[in-house]
Amino acid sequence: MRTAYKCRAYPDPEQMSVLNRTFGCVRVVWNRTLAWRHARYHGEQAKTNFTQASAYLTAIKATAELGWLNEVSSVPLQQALRHQQAAFTSFYAGRTRYPRYKSRAGRQCAEYTRSGFRYRDGQLFLAKTHTPLAFVWSWPGTDPASIDPTTVTISRDPCGRWYVCFAVDMPGPGRLPATGAAVGVDLGITDFAVTSDGDKIPGPRPLARRERNLARYQRRLARCQKGSANRAKARAKVARAHRKIRASRADFLHKASTNLVRGHDVIAVEDLAVANMVRNRSLAKAISDCGWGTFRRMITYKAGRAGRDVIPVDRWYPSSKTCSSCGYLLAELSLTTRHWTCPDCRTRHDRDINAAKNILAAGLAVARGNPGDACGADVRRHGTPHPRSAVKQEPHPARAGIPVLHDGE
């Protein structure tokens, strides 16, 4: 298993100069190669592989215009081509969008393989530098001298912070002891997550809390003259504000996902189409501020390492409208209705807790290989674009078909 250790770095002026030149060369190689690939594909209808891209890099380094590319280590330049090739592979497979050009105002990074660095006794020496790079180790339980990194990535944020990331091949961690507990998780905006146990996890909403300060910094940036020193300072303040928002969100998501994985053997979550939901202009900012997609990825990889099971429940399953006690399916349920009473069994439901219970039942039914056991309703969508869900335990037929997923549900 590959593990990454990321920590703050503090390069001296000489190392900073070398790394800044390396960042610029990596950016130029990426942009030139990307433009060449684009022109070659549209002009000759030919795709480009890594060997051809590497030959193109060798050719442009031999020109007088770009001869200064030879002043930095060739390892980060070759790694930039490998990353670009991987980006195009993902694009042709339909997993990501078309690769974009790199900007000098964004995050800068350079990756070194074993031939571009030397790591001995916890000291890191990069190519073209003479002194070890100073960094602060942030994992007390791991000795930095004991790791054997395969790659080292040096990065600089737009706000000016430097980082070093060590990629290490390590044996996978052991499975956590079984707890015998299963939980269903319903994600929302008012409460970030509601579990089938009745626990409500309030969301920090870091962007909403810092939005006024961020807007003020952005207005100052807009008033500055382009190319001025004051504009560079204002841009750094905007970048720091974004970094604080991003760090606050990531800290919350890590803590919430870790607690769920440690306390439950089975976790059922709704398979939300976040990319489609953010197209709603009224809720796009609030949905993006929650970080549902990142939360889902964190739970998935942490559960895989801990030996837990994560079961996605189909997004078309009407978890909020279905009574978790008897399976009655409401014909309509507006988003403003937070509590409702089942017309059949007269059970009073909290909308989110009821949805979490149904998600857990649907997830366990999928795990058993019988999706129809989830209160009698279909968990997976089949057939025509507008199917009708069967509710076996419902004494009175529903008056509407399966409802589509609405915002925050």
Alpha-carbon span 128 to 11, nearest angstrom: 13
Helix, strand or coil, per DSSP, at residue 318: coil
111, 157, 265, 352: the active-site residue:
352
What is the Cβ-side half-sphere exposure of residue 115, based on CA atoms within 13 angstroms? Answer: 7
Task: Identify which of 1, 3, 61 has the alpha carbon closest to the alpha carbon of residue 32.
Answer: 61
Task: Identify which of 146, 162, 142, 144 has the alpha carbon closest to the alpha carbon of residue 154.
Answer: 162
Please confirm, yes or no, whether 270 is among the known catalytic residues. Answer: yes
Residues contacting residue 191 through CB under 8 Å, at least 6 positions apart: 200, 201, 202, 203, 352
111, 157, 186, 409: the active-site residue:
186
270, 378, 394, 409: the active-site residue:
270
Q: Contact, 155 vs 165, CB < 8 A?
A: yes
State the distance between the two ends of the chain, measured CA to CA, in whole angstroms: 36
57: left (phi over 0), alpha (psi -120 to 50) or beta: alpha
Please confirm, yes or no, whether 199 is among the known catalytic residues. Answer: no
- If you write DSSP's letter for every residue of 158-178 in order, what string do you get? TTS-EEEEEEEE-PPPPPPPP
Q: Contact, 279 vs 285, CB < 8 A?
A: no
- If you write DSSP's letter for every residue of 352-389 in order, what string do you get? HHHHHHHHHHHHHHHHTT-GGGSTT---S--SSSS---
Residues contacting residue 60 through CB under 8 Å, at least 6 positions apart: 32, 66, 69
Please confirm, yes or no, whether 394 is among the known catalytic residues. Answer: no
Active site residues: 186, 270, 352
